[in-house]
Amino acid sequence: MAIWQALLLGFLEGLTEFLPVSSTGHLLLAGHFLGFDSPGKTFEVLIQLGAILAILVVYFQRLLQMVCALPSDPQIQRFAISLAIAFLPAALIGALLHDFIKDVLFETPMLVCAMLILGGFVLLAIDKMALNPRYHDVTSVPAERALGIGLFQCLALIPGVSRSGSTIVGGLLLGADKRTAAEFSFFLAMPTMAGAFALDLYKNWERLQAADALPIGVGFVAAFVTAVAVVKVALDFIGRHGFTPFAWWRIIVGTIGLAALAIYG
C-alpha cells in the first residue's frame, strides 16, 4: 500500500467518522476505486483507533470529571448506565454477524452508494420535521431512550448507513435536541469503536504483516489529527446548520459512486 493512499484514507476516516456521512462507506469506496484491498478490511478498521483517541483527547477534561463524579453523582451514574445500554445491541449483533458484514456487505460497493443516497434523503426529511426536543443535556437521556438509540445504531452495521448518522437520527426522534443527539453519538462512539477495533484485531491478527505497520501508522496519525479538528467544530456546526449539508454530501458522493461503478466497474 502506497503511503499517499494510507494518508488519504486516514484523512477520510478522521473527516467522516463523527459526521453523519459514513466513514466506512467513504473508506470502502475510496479503497475500491484506488484498487486497494486490505485483508479482511483490517486497515480500515484499525485506523479508527486514531479517531477514538481524538475524541478521548478532545473530551478528556469532561471524561475525567465524569469519572471522578461517578461514585457519588446519581446523574452521571444514570448516564453511564444509559451509555452501556445503548452500546449493547450493536455490540451483540456486530459480533454475531461479523464475518457476514466483513465478507459480504463490505464487498458490495453498490450497496454502499445506495445507503449513502438513502441516508441523505432521510437526513433531509429529519431536518424538515417539527420535533419537540425534551432532552437538552447528554447526561439527561434516560435508559429507555438510550436503548432506542442503540437499536438505531444497529442500522450502521450496513456500510454506508453511518454510525453517527443513525444514532443522531435516533436521538432526534427520541427527544434529544440536535446538539445533545450529536454529543450522545460522540460518547457512544468510544465504546462502540473500541469494541469494533478489538474484535477486528482479534479476528485478523494472523493476517497482519510487518509491512502493514507503516501504512497503518500513517493512516492512524492522519485520522487522529483530522478527527480532532472535526470534533472541535462539529457540534457548533450541526447546531447552526442542521443536517442538510451532510445530506447533500451523502447524495452527491453516492451518486458519483454509482456512476463510477457503472462506467468503471
Per-residue pLDDT of the chain (265 residues; tens, 9 = 90+): 788 888 999 999 999 988 999 998 999 899 888 887 666 567 777 788 888 899 899 999 999 999 999 999 999 999 999 999 999 999 999 999 988 988 889 889 999 999 999 999 999 999 889 889 999 999 999 999 999 999 999 999 999 999 999 999 999 999 999 999 999 999 999 999 888 888 887 877 777 777 777 888 899 999 999 999 998 898 888 888 889 999 999 999 999 999 999 998 7
Per-residue model confidence (pLDDT) at position 39 = 61
Q: Spell out a b/e string for 129-150, using b for 16 or more CB atoms within 10 Å of the CB, else e.
A: eeeeeebeebbbbbeebbbbbb
Give me the amino acid identity at 195.
Answer: G
Domain span at residue 51 reads: 3-33+40-264
Grid coordinates of 186: 460522540
Beta bridge partners of 135: 176
DSSP letter (8 states) at residue 155: G
Grid coordinates of 124: 433531509
Give the C-alpha distances (Å, rounded to integers) separating 44 from 7, 39, 193.
12, 10, 12
Give me the amino acid identity at 46.
Answer: L
Per-residue model confidence (pLDDT) at position 130 = 86
Do residues 17 and 232 make contact, with C-beta atoms less than 8 angstroms apart? Answer: no
User: Whole-angstrom Cα distance, residue 27 to residue 92?
Assistant: 24
DSSP letter (8 states) at residue 208: -
Number of domains making up the chain: 1
Number of C-beta neighbours around residue 70 at 10 A: 12
For 6: left if phi > 0, alpha if psi spans -120 to 50, otherwise beta; the answer is alpha
Give the C-alpha distances (Å, rounded to integers) separating 152 from 81, 91, 137, 202, 234.
18, 12, 20, 26, 21
